[in-house]
């Protein structure tokens, strides 16, 4: 079984329009959604609007799919996150902490991360599937 961790920007693209994200993610048997991706997606929703509630429903339906794995932060992920934070800082290539969490989940689960963000390249040993921006 092949799996891929999905970054927030790819999840948004996938849930809104599919496009190239759909083609790439469709090659995998399992989509891993790190807790940080779920939190970031939900933080961007305005639940006082019909659109916000609709997008929340789409997310929750998606997360309930049997081919989707919701990945939480256990001790191994927390340790990996702390180590990566220090390594990236020493390299002079810091990235947002939420993305260090995403990379940590992917590394602990030995799965690539699919993203539009180039800075994931700086994470040692992380296999990155980098999609081009489609705007």
Residues 71/5, Cβ–Cβ less than 8 Å: yes
- φ, ψ dihedrals at 29, nearest 5°: -75, -30
Residue 122 has pLDDT above 60, yes or no: yes
Mean pLDDT over 111-127 rounds to: 95
| Structural domains in the chain (count) | 1
**What's the rounded Cα separation, in Å, for the pair 119 and 125?**
13
Q: Which tokens in the block code for residue 76?
A: 């191994």
Q: What's the pLDDT score for residue 132?
A: 76
In a domain, 24, yes or no: yes
In a domain, 135, yes or no: no
- φ, ψ dihedrals at 88, nearest 5°: -65, -35
- Print the domain residue range for 12: 3-130
User: ∠ CA 58-60-62 to the nearest 5 degrees?
Assistant: 70
Residue 97 has pLDDT above 70, yes or no: yes
Handedness of CA 100, 29, 14, 129 (dihedral sign): positive
97 compared with 134, residue with greater pLDDT: 97
What's 114's domain CATH number? 3.40.50.1010
DSSP string, 82-93: HHHHHHHHHHT-
Pick the range with the lowest mean pLDDT from 68-77, 97-106, 125-134.
125-134
């Amino acid at each position: 079984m092949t799996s891929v961790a999905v970054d927030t920007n790819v999840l948004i693209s996938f849930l809104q329009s599919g496009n190239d994200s759909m083609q790439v993610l469709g090659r995998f048997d399992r989509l891993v959604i790190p807790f940080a991706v779920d939190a970031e997606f939900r933080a961007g929703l305005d639940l006082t609007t019909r659109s916000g509630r609709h997008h929340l429903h789409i997310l929750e339906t998606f997360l309930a799919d049997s081919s989707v794995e919701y990945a939480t932060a256990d001790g191994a992920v927390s340790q990996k996150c702390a180590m990566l934070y220090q390594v990236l800082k020493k390299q002079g290539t810091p990235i947002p902490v939420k993305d260090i969490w995403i990379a940590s989940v992917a590394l602990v689960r030995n799965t690539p991360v699919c993203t539009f963000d180039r800075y994931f390249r700086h994470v040692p040993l992380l296999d990155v599937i980098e999609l081009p921006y489609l705007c």
